[in-house]
Amino acid sequence: MNFCHWDHHCVSHLELGNIQLRSSPDRTHPRTEAYVPPDPENTHMTIVEDARRVLAEDPICDACVGRCFAERSFGLTNAERGRALRTTVALEDDEPYEAVEPAECWVCEGASGRFDEFADLVVEALGEQRFDTYQVGTRAPPLVEENETMLRDLADLDEDAGELFKSECNREVGKRVGQRTGASVDFERPDVLAVLDVEDETVEVTVNSAFVYGRYRKLERGIPQTKWPCSDCNGTGTLVDSPCPHCDGTGYLYPESVEQLTAPPVIEAMDGESASFHGAGREDIDALMLGTGRPFVVEVDEPQERHPDPEELEEAINEYAEGKVEVEGVRLASYEMVARVKELDARKRYRAQVEFDAPVGEDDFEAALLELDGATIQQETPQRVKHRRAEKVRERDVYDITGELTDDTHAVVEVEGEGGLYIKELVSSDEGRTEPSLAGALGVEATVTALDVVTVEGERDEFEDEQYFRE
């Protein structure tokens, strides 16, 4: 199978027999000497000689002849290129011109004359599928591929001379599909990919995912970002033909997640099969996500509708989530937005409710905050996540930290830090695994009793870059 672009290389001139096609001289600079044509014995005749050897293996249709020279000239189909060479050789040799129909051709066995039929097959296979971009691929018959290799060998051409039938079929069928559907070809990530099997006369259609971007706020604690399958039953909901007691037969440790509260309306609006949820990091299950929200992308599998109204979709999600989650800034996005959301370096601001095990004075509290402000923190993998995170020491910066004592054993602390900074451990020290820490600076035990994420923004670039959105 092969996918190719619809263009050919260009040459500056074409030599046919003793006739050399040249651009007109610049009349503003007349020649100072008479033009002397090159000696005919030195004229470059390779293409005509090569074409003569190819045509000697008749019967070969024009397209199969032209494919052997696909890199020559521009703006011609292979059939037009082959017909021109057949005409040139006939004129050069003063022989009768004899056309060969594709059905008579031993190389392609008629396939080069069936591009319209193949396009009909592709369009029929696409059916009612809605798409803006497409690509066509071809599985060529093995015998045709063998014949193409044999022709080049018989004609003493390079084995990779020109292009192969499958490349031409991609282009010629693809052009026709575009004309009939009004869609644009996309060689990177099309909405749909249609693979034509020439021998079986079948088409395999792959519908690529569609993407919706937004920001979510999580307004209730105890909700994970994504589905959390039960480890006891591996998400099946059953153990030995009985409901799993650990998850009450649901297959999930938590009955709801941000994913489960946002993705279903998107699937419905796009008439998709299923969806995946991608977030710009994740907050703890017991943490709220407030402020401007956290960037996310819902990836919908096999969508039949790619253009839902974003405003209506945002409204539908918020209604479905029943106040547990809110979304804003919903927009249709490209595939690349998934990588941007997952990989863009982000800075985050948190608000933590902190409890101390001993009274803390105002001056000591301010001194501890000053010590942490702008500090580089060394954090071993926290004990609470080491079962699912690699054991290593991470360096993360604290950009800004402020706080206020509400009484001598409680405080509210706001921290803005580099993405990946563990805030609970920055406060508690995690038994010395995080240095420096608020607990260490104060010399008392400190525990986060409630944590809210206030902002999630890119370190240098914004998440909302227009090049990643679709209209």
Residue 116 CB partners (closer than 8 Å, separation 6+): 176
Q: Which of 132, 186, 271, 284 is catalytic?
A: 284
Query: Which residue in 313, 283, 286 sits closest to 295, CA to CA?
Result: 283
75: left (phi over 0), alpha (psi -120 to 50) or beta: left
Enter the DSSP assignment of 229.
Answer: B
Query: Which residue in 88, 89, 104, 92 sits closest to 56, CA to CA?
Result: 89
249: left (phi over 0), alpha (psi -120 to 50) or beta: left
How many Å is the maximal CA-CA distance in the chain? Answer: 109
Report the run of H or E that residue 460 belongs to, with start and end.
none
Cα separation of 389 and 381, whole Å?
A: 7
Cα separation of 172 and 110, whole Å?
A: 15
Length of the chain as a residue count: 471
230: β partners = none
446 close to 430: Cβ distance less than 8 angstroms: no
Q: Which amino acid is at 93?
A: D
Q: Known catalytic residue: 284? A: yes
What residues act catalytically? 284
